[in-house]
Amino acid sequence: MRVIRLCLCEDDVQYRTKVKDIIVEKYPEVKVFECDDRTFSFEEDYDAYIFDIELHERSGISIAEEIRRKDKTVSIMFLTSYDEHAREGYRIHAEGYVSKQHFDEEFYPVLDRMMKTCKKKNTIIEINSDGRCAYIDLNDVYYFGSQQHYVFFKCKKQLYRTRISINQFIEDYPMDNFVQCVKGQYVNMKYIAYVEKNKVVLENGDWISLSKQNKKVLGTEYRNFMFNKMMEH
């Protein structure tokens, strides 16, 4: 299960508690950090933000504008009692705007969209690995694959496994750096050392079989990955 850090900035404590309870009931993987504009800190980083637009001393819009200057893609939602603020919310490229007067019908679709965005971005996952809770950063995974009813992860320091279908895992988690080698096995392109005729060799010396039908796709994906990596520098 992926841990998502969400900042809920709302000056009405009772209303804030209501929103928090709804979120954690539907998405137990979310850890909600509560605050208002007086206790909000720019020193903390979160996966998502929910702001009431009308706060004590500052507007949620102005706080969100500062966040946007340092993070162009973080998910933001606005809550307000006044519909005329909706245009301002969308100017920030928010995930959505929710009117408190229509909360029950508007909040859930925006929350679902926000969680979907967060799950695609956040690379830290929480799993039950042989009875123990473990946190894995997908950036540290050399490769993963299916093994009966489990998915195993070969990481830098050790091997983990958790009971989940491979299809469910691929649907739920970001696969930007991973490409399929054979059915049920995926390699992290950042750790590829070189590719031979029928196998992918990794930096740590491990190798994974490469099927003919996946070789062309892997070659194309790996070239794009390396090009994008060079462009970042």
Measured CA to CA in angstroms, residue 25 lies from 20, 21, 22, 29, 124 at distances of 8, 6, 5, 9, 21
DSSP 43-111: TS--SEEEEESB-SSSBHHHHHHHHHHH-SS-EEEEEES-GGGHHHHHHTT-SEEEEGGGHHHHHHHHH
Q: Which long-range contacts (CB under 8 A, 24 or more apart) does 171-180 make?
A: 172/2, 172/119, 173/2, 173/119, 173/125, 173/138, 174/119, 174/120, 174/121, 174/122, 174/123, 174/138, 177/138, 177/139, 177/225, 178/144, 179/214, 179/217, 179/218, 179/221, 179/222, 180/214, 180/217, 180/218
Q: Is the pTM of this model over 0.75?
A: no
Same-domain pairing of 142 and 168: yes
- The domain total for the chain is 2
State the CATH number of the domain containing residue 68: 3.40.50.2300
Same domain, 110 and 197: no
| 161 and 108 both lie in a single domain | no
User: At 139, which CATH number?
Assistant: 2.40.50.1020
pLDDT the model gives residue 189: 96
Do 113 and 178 lie in a common domain?
no
Query: How would you classify the pairing of strands 48-52 and 4-9?
Result: parallel
In this structure, the answer to whether residues 158 and 90 fall within a common structural domain is no
Q: Are residues 35 and 109 in the same domain?
A: yes
Note down pLDDT in tens along the chain; length 233 residues: 567 899 999 999 999 999 999 999 999 989 999 999 999 999 888 999 999 998 888 889 999 999 988 888 889 999 988 766 556 656 677 888 898 999 999 999 999 999 988 877 777 788 889 889 888 888 899 999 998 889 999 998 899 999 999 998 888 777 878 999 999 999 999 999 999 989 999 999 999 999 999 999 999 999 998 887 776 55
Count the helix, strand and coil residues of the chain and give each as a percent rounded to the nearest 5. 40, 35, 25
Q: Are residues 85 and 28 in the same domain?
A: yes
Whether 76 and 153 map to the same domain: the answer is no
Q: Which of the listed residues 91, 121, 151 is the one where a domain comes to its end?
A: 121
154 with 180, same domain: the answer is yes
Chain centroid to CA 101: how far? Answer: 30
pLDDT at 233: 53
SS3 state of residue 172: helix
136 and 223 share one domain = yes
Q: In angstroms, rounded to a whole number, what is the distance separating the alpha carbons of residues 50 and 6?
A: 8
Domain containing residue 81: 4-121
pLDDT of residue 173: 77
74 with 137, same domain: the answer is no
Chosen domain end from 121, 146, 174: 121
User: Are 109 and 151 within one domain?
Assistant: no
Q: Which of 86, 121, 156 is the last residue of a domain?
A: 121
What is the C-alpha separation between 200 and 209, in angstroms, rounded?
Answer: 6
How confident is the model at residue 14, as a pLDDT? Answer: 96
Q: How many residues does the chain have?
A: 233
